[in-house]
Amino acid sequence: MKNTNQNPPEMMHGSDWVGRDVSGWWVSEKFNGHRVRWTGSQLVTRAGKTLAPPPWFTNGLPKYELDGELHAGRGKTNDDVQSALKRGQWEKLVFTAFDVPGLVIEEAVKRLKGLACGCSFWKTPDTECARHTARVVRDCGGEGIMLRRPGSAYVPYRTDDLLKMKA
């Protein structure tokens, strides 16, 4: 990482799920890594530090902003990501985009479907299905799921329109 004078990007943050009915909400996997923003030309951490990935890592990323996670896969943690960054081992890392700042979730899902780095989304029929999915993800080495209220806009703060469900 290299330090810059860049202001930290304003990012949407989810609240913990505490029993709310999430029937019909959008679901995606929650990744355990390092939160980053793709600015359209560079990766910037939540703290405002610009990362210096090799060109092959960012080839194919769009010219518009993406909110996402730099991670090392299921079963790995933020510590694994930090270790790879310190050693310059970008081949051990993946950038997964899970939102497009400025768009409502349905528009973001459309944009992300066309990207190789885009996260998969689906709608949960009911809360029990969401809870089951969170358990399956955890049992496969993942952290859990994120739930997004249909029609909700990307906002640069913590919101109950985005919920974290860990099994």
CATH (domain of 97): 3.30.470.30
Q: 40: which strand partners? A: none
Each residue of 110-163: pLDDT tens digit? 999 989 999 999 999 999 999 999 999 999 999 999 999 999 999 999 999 999
**Hunting for tokens 């860990």 — which residue is that?**
166
**Euclidean distance between CA atoms 149 and 22, whole angstroms:** 8
**Hunting for tokens 């992300």 — which residue is that?**
112
Burial of 129 (0-12, 13-18, 19+ CB in 10 A): middle
Which domain range does residue 143 map to? 13-165
The answer to whether the CB of 67 falls within 8 A of the CB of 154 is yes
Q: Using 50, 70 and 90 to split pLDDT, how confident is the model at 93?
A: very high
Separation in Å, CA 141 to CA 99, 123, 136, 163, 165: 23, 22, 9, 20, 15
Going by C-alpha positions, the residue among 15, 41, 159, 29 that lies closest to residue 97 is 29
Q: Pick the more confident residue, 1 or 38.
A: 38
- % of residues, the chain, pLDDT over 70: 96
**Euclidean distance between CA atoms 50 and 27, whole angstroms:** 29
| In a domain? residue 4 | no
Q: What is the pLDDT of residue 5?
A: 46
| In a domain? residue 61 | yes
- % of residues, the chain, pLDDT over 90: 94
* Tally of structural domains, the chain: 1
Q: Using 50, 70 and 90 to split pLDDT, how confident is the model at 87?
A: very high
The answer to whether the CB of 25 falls within 8 A of the CB of 146 is no
| In a domain? residue 1 | no
Give the pair of three-digit tokens for residue 17: 């799920």
Q: What is the pLDDT of residue 167?
A: 72
| In a domain? residue 5 | no
| In a domain? residue 146 | yes
Average pLDDT of the segment spanning 35-51: 96
Q: What is the pLDDT of residue 3?
A: 42
